[in-house]
Structure 1
Amino acid sequence: MRNILLATAALSMFALPAAAQSVSQPQWYGTAGYTHLDGEDADLGAITGRVGARLNPNFAVEGEGSIGVRDDDITVAGVNGSVEHDYDLAAYAVGVLPVRPNLELFGRVGYGTTSIKAEVAGFSAREDGESINYGAGATYFLDGQNGLRADWTRRDFTGDNNGELDTYGVSFVRRF
């Protein structure tokens, strides 16, 4: 009886690593690229980075951050000014549809914050807005780790900052 218990314990020691391997680890990825922000009154540009975790073949989560790099000139009541994008941060749930081994489509929904600064005739104002974001896109992988991503995202601002902002992005993707 004692030998049967020892043999069972020994076999369970081999089974634990096998069971742990059956639970898949998240596949991490990162992106870096350019995002065009198409606003009602201004068109802005930003450098955008993302870090994501693919939890299964059809679901991922990702965090995103952007820093403005392209401002726009505006005219308010005949007075010239400028609008600049300071930053934005967002988090998303991403649904993924693999179409081919190197092509996948995705849809995403999330929540974010955006900070924009305007300056007219020496006066400046900063506007921070919270938004519900949703969008779609595609990723094409050049090899097992590197790819290109194109996406569109709509930001629906909440509260006093009602309004919409469409973003169009192109990024390099790297799987880790």
Structure 2
Amino acid sequence: MSLDKSTFLLNSAALAAGAALFGATANAQNYNGPTETTGPYLSGGYNYLDFDEDLGGDAHVSAITARAGWQLHPNFGVEADASFGIDNGEFDFDGDEDDFDLDDNEDSDFDDVIAGPGDLGLDYLIGFYGRATMPLSDRFDVSARAGYAFAEIDSTVATVGGNELVFGGSDDGFAVGASAAYDLTESMAIRADYTHYEFDTSNAESFGINLEYKFGV
């Protein structure tokens, strides 16, 4: 993912989150329709993540996600979630020897391209968010969230020269996203999420589906 595309996605997601936050504020003041139940909630489900490593390529990873949150007000809440990879994402690596201080083909220079198949593994991804919610009906609501996330990502590349490169490690950065939820019952809902992660050495897009249980107060 190019810097321009990444910046565009981050700015678009931030604008969407800001618009939803503004809308939720207006909703809290003027909206007399359906409201969200306040209180704690737990959820779990599946996430599909698309990672773009600065020193690698795009890799798609499947993960399971657990989330805990508290709806402090019908329009505002806080939540945290943790995702753990359940498979490795494959990508085609295309880098430079100089990036790794490696003479892969042993020709006494470091100007050649290193290319080869790679695997990306997600050990964990943990995020903390503030969330603005706007109920659209008794059963359906949309929301936006913004926060900060931490991840442990490891990439392994087998080069043409027979070397194995390992890079990645701990990363962190801002995260913004949006979601839509439908109440199956008074306490059970199904929620779909999109989140953009702007890490230091990689970016990621996440698409998730979760089953949520609301305890309510």
Q: TM-score, normalised by structure 2?
A: 0.65
Could you tell me which of 60, 65, 77 is aligned with 1:48? 65
Structure 2: unaligned runs, 5 residues or longer: 1-36, 53-57, 94-113, 159-163
Q: Structure 1: which amino acid aligns with 2:141? A: E
SS in 2 for 1:144: coil
The aligned residue for residue 172 of structure 1 is 211
Alignment of 1:142-153 (within 5 A): 142-153=184-195
The aligned residue for residue 46 of structure 2 is 34
Could you tell me which of 85, 94, 98 is aligned with 1:68? 85
Q: Structure 1: which amino acid aligns with 2:137? A: R
Cα drift, residue 84 of structure 1? 0.8
The aligned residue for residue 126 of structure 1 is 168
Cα drift, residue 173 of structure 1? 0.6
Contact 2:38 2:74 in 1 (8 A): no
CA distance in structure 1 between the partners assigned to 2:87 and 2:213 by the alignment: 25
The aligned residue for residue 125 of structure 2 is 88
Q: Structure 2: which amino acid aligns with 1:46? A: A
CA deviations 1:73-95 (Å, max 9, x no partner) are 22333422311111011100000
Q: TM-score, normalised by structure 1?
A: 0.79
Relative contact order higher in (CA < 8 Å, ≥ 6 apart):
2
CA deviations 1:93-121 (Å, max 9, x no partner) are 00000111111110000001011111123
Structure 1: unaligned runs, 5 residues or longer: 1-24
CA distance in structure 1 between the partners assigned to 2:66 and 2:91 by the alignment: 27
| Structure of higher CA gyration radius | 1
Alignment RMSD (CA, Å): 1.6
Percent of aligned positions with the same letter in both sequences?
A: 29
Tell whether 2:176 aligns with 1:139: no
CA distance in structure 1 between the partners assigned to 2:60 and 2:80 by the alignment: 23
Could you tell me which of 102, 125, 137 is aligned with 1:100? 137
Contact 2:141 2:182 in 1 (8 A): yes
SS in 2 for 1:62: strand
- Write 1 or 2 for the structure with the bigger share of strand: 1
